Structure 1
Amino acid sequence: MTTDVPDAGGIPGRRSLRPLTGVLAAMAVSLTGTRVSAVALPWFVLVTTGSATQTGLVAFCEMTPYVAAKAFAGPLVDRIGPRTVSWSTDLASATAAAAVPLFHTLDLLSFPLLLVLVALIGAVRGPGDLAKMVMVPEAADRGGVPLERAAGLAGVTERLASTVGPAVGGSLVGLLGPMTGLVVNAGCFALGSLVIGVALPRGMGHAADETVSGTDGTDRKEQTEPGYWRRFGEGFAFLRGELLLLTVIVMVGITNLLDAGFNTVLMPVWAKESGHGPAAIGLMGSVMGATAVAGSLIAAVAAHRLRRRVVFFTGFLLAGAPRFLVLASGAPMGVVLAVFAVSGFGSGFLNPVLGAVLFERVPRHMLGRVNALGDSLAWAGIPLGGLITGAAVAAVGLSPVLLAGGAAYFLTTNLAGLRPEWREMDRARGRDSSTPVPEKEVGATSAHHPTT
């Protein structure tokens, strides 16, 4: 159902939920494929090589190009338009993902070739994830949806993918082998490309207008489009001046590193050593994802009434250290699932809070480059997470690494919370997302792959 409403420029427009639904649908299918692959690929490497170090190396080779490409893609997303970037990169991801099972079937998949393919997947997936998130505020405007609610719905979408993806991935790997999971991953990327290219309304997701102030006090579009490096520099300068942003990036960067090692190495090694197998990885991920959906739904409905700092740090307290400690304790599977359920519920509140602050603080025409840089700085440790964790497990064993990881997670989030600049997170509420302000939130944990 649509209603006539004035758009942002005062021209009568049509309010419709179709744009937001389309963006969220594309996010859902591509993220689900990624979560399936997150079970299938590490398990494939672990059972074929028997090496936790090589398993971590594969994760490193995927996430390093992901972070690097995302960091430098922001100006291009702003210049070309997120819609074009999204459908084209999803199509490239589908092609690269499909090549892995194809070459394996033909007995041509050497380990170096696998590293090349996963690096290619990471390089194109980063800009694609960024482009979808950049379209969320525009889609919210077109549907008359508050930004905190739109960010919450994006969080719900991600958490649903984190529920369905591991369950499907664990089942496929257990029943049909890991290559089937990678075929599903390729199909999901192809479907995401189709949704963006066909389902979104015309005129959505194009390049953002650059405006400058004229001598008469009015805004006008620049006659000469700024170059790539100027756009990049503007985004970097915007990020550099905000103390809250820098604190959040450091904190989330450390927790992202720990999460990467946990997901790509510690969980598969624990599943193998405990005898629970890949189905347990899927079950744990699905339980955590299901309760995270509940947390994200509550955040989508009530986030504007809650104190962001309290919600944020409580979420991290539940989502972080308990997962590491319960696996180290040797607790029965029922207890493990209960802890993962509580952790998932806490994690569901994180990205809606961060996403809302990002959307309301960053000028709309700079959203791509600012979000890209914030994400990439916060995700810089992710490629190292699997690599460092794999080497640590090989050196000292699983339990000591789990205990050290849990302690590091707890100290990082609690010590960071003592800093005074976090008060800015609560004061951010109520600003107009289209108004440039000299402060910025964090693109630290945007939809694609959040902090936990």
Structure 2
Amino acid sequence: MWSAAVVSRFGDALRTAALPLIAVRLTDDPFVIASVTACGYLPWLLFGLLGGAVADRVDQRRAMWAVDTLRGTLVACFGLAVGLGHASIGLLIALAFALTSLQTLFDNASTALLPSLVDKEALGSANARLMTGQQLAGGFLAGPFVPLLLAAGAAVPFAADAATYLLAAALVASLRIAAPERRPGPAGSTLRAEAAEGLRALRRDRVLRAVCTATLLCNIGMGALIATLVLHVTGWLHAGNAGFAAAMTAFSAGSLAGGALLAQRVARRFGRVRGLFLGGSVQTASLLLIGTVRQLGVLLLGMVLLGVMSMVWNVNQVTLMQQRSPQAMVGRISAAFRTASTSGAPVGALLGGTVAAVYGLNGPALFAAALFALAVVSLIPALKPDVSVVEPDDGVTTAHVKP
């Protein structure tokens, strides 16, 4: 499963880099080009919760390899259209929408499947290794290959992405695990009703509700920062394109360090919820530095810390959700988390642009710091002593606060 995740993320990074270049060849209309990006978010808002409901109904392993096979076929067909000169902006938008629609099922099924592969006390380490491997493949390894593949032809990155999908499908299909037992649903139960049941379960759990709220606030803040970071670096710091590239590299390097070295250590030392509290506090301080100190070195330090603590947050948030959720509802609760996260990013991007226009190019970083501070405050109810819905035996998930 780790190999499938890493291979698939490598191919996704190739395609993601190639898509904008294909788009600008097909049209110079900024609104149309932006629509391609928007289609990467819209299916999560439309189908994210339903994808979680489907993931809880079906055999997750079969769903994952079937989805990857279909995605590989779609990308291969698009690559063929590009190679034959028949690509169009409409076809590009349709591809982006279809791939993300299928991803709503795949990602939720993957999250729900992991507890069937490893013991619950190993979930934190498994999530850290998955996320670190994906960050390495997508953030570092794929980058140097993009210009080489594009030099070989505009269709080549899509052909490579299709091959990685099909390889990932074969790897997932090779897993030999017993499908988890599922209680039959009530007669006449619909996907909408089952998705609503997942939302109610999330709302009833005080810890997961607080973590979901905090994650939404953080994603709005990160959406605002990332959408305007190029303006912050080139316009406010006057560091040019090289400075922007260095900032993104610093964030990726921090993410790798956070996943490989710190996520589990923080959880063992402080507990998962207090680990989130610590991560959010450090990120708030980092954003304040980025927004107030006009030096490239400080920006790079802040981006490293943001990357480290974002991985600490992601690993512990996902693991906490998997361990506290009833096994039969992991997909639906996962869908609620992801839908909230995805809705936060585009909202944050729009707000970030508005803040930059009104308050200055460093405004989005300070705006993000305020949202992260609110996220930290929203975690306070989750710090109270609590007995989890499905109590894990890993010694780090439930943080007991001393009087």
Selected match of 1:308 from 248, 267, 272: 272
**CA distance 1:112–1:34, change in 2 (3 Å):** same
**CA distance 1:122–1:173, change in 2 (3 Å):** same
1:170-249 residue pairs with structure 2 within 5 A? 171-172=147-148, 180-198=156-174, 200-203=175-178, 206=179, 208-210=181-183, 227-249=190-212
| Distance across 1 between alignment mates of 2:205 and 2:366 | 28
Native 8 Å contact 2:218 2:375 kept in 1: no
Selected match of 2:364 from 405, 413, 425: 405
Offset of residue 296 of structure 1 = 1.6
The answer for the alignment partner of 2:241 in structure 1 is: 276
Does residue 157 in structure 1 map to residue 140 in structure 2? no
| Distance across 1 between alignment mates of 2:98 and 2:177 | 30
| Distance across 2 between alignment mates of 1:265 and 1:360 | 36
Selected match of 1:343 from 288, 306, 322: 306
| Distance across 2 between alignment mates of 1:41 and 1:321 | 35
The answer for the alignment partner of 1:375 in structure 2 is: 338
**CA distance 1:83–1:36, change in 2 (3 Å):** same
1:66-215 residue pairs with structure 2 within 5 A? 66-141=44-119, 146-164=122-140, 167-168=143-144, 171-172=147-148, 180-198=156-174, 200-203=175-178, 206=179, 208-210=181-183
**CA distance 1:262–1:30, change in 2 (3 Å):** farther
Offset of residue 94 of structure 1 = 1.9
| Distance across 2 between alignment mates of 1:80 and 1:291 | 37
Question: What letter corresponds to residue 317 of structure 2 in structure 1?
Answer: L
Tell me, which stretches of 5 or more residues in structure 2 are unaligned? Answer: 399-403
Aligned-pair RMSD on alpha carbons? 4.1
Offset of residue 125 of structure 1 = 1.6
| Distance across 1 between alignment mates of 2:24 and 2:331 | 36
Question: What letter corresponds to residue 32 of structure 1 in structure 2?
Answer: F
| Distance across 2 between alignment mates of 1:89 and 1:294 | 31
| Distance across 2 between alignment mates of 1:152 and 1:432 | 21
Question: What letter corresponds to residue 415 of structure 1 in structure 2?
Answer: L
TM (normalized to structure 2)?
A: 0.79
The answer for the alignment partner of 1:423 in structure 2 is: 383
**CA distance 1:242–1:202, change in 2 (3 Å):** closer
**CA distance 1:362–1:328, change in 2 (3 Å):** same
**CA distance 1:328–1:27, change in 2 (3 Å):** farther
| Distance across 2 between alignment mates of 1:47 and 1:56 | 14
**CA distance 1:327–1:183, change in 2 (3 Å):** farther
| Distance across 1 between alignment mates of 2:263 and 2:6 | 18
Tell me, which stretches of 5 or more residues in structure 1 are unaligned? Answer: 1-22, 211-220, 435-439, 441-452
Native 8 Å contact 1:61 1:383 kept in 2: no
Question: What letter corresponds to residue 89 of structure 1 in structure 2?
Answer: V
Between Structure 1 and Structure 2, the one with more helix by share is 2
| Distance across 2 between alignment mates of 1:58 and 1:41 | 9
1:28-39 residue pairs with structure 2 within 5 A? 28-39=6-17
| Distance across 1 between alignment mates of 2:285 and 2:22 | 27
Aligned residues: 390
Offset of residue 53 of structure 1 = 4.3
Native 8 Å contact 1:137 1:147 kept in 2: yes
Question: What letter corresponds to residue 98 of structure 2 in structure 1?
Answer: L
The answer for the alignment partner of 1:214 in structure 2 is: none
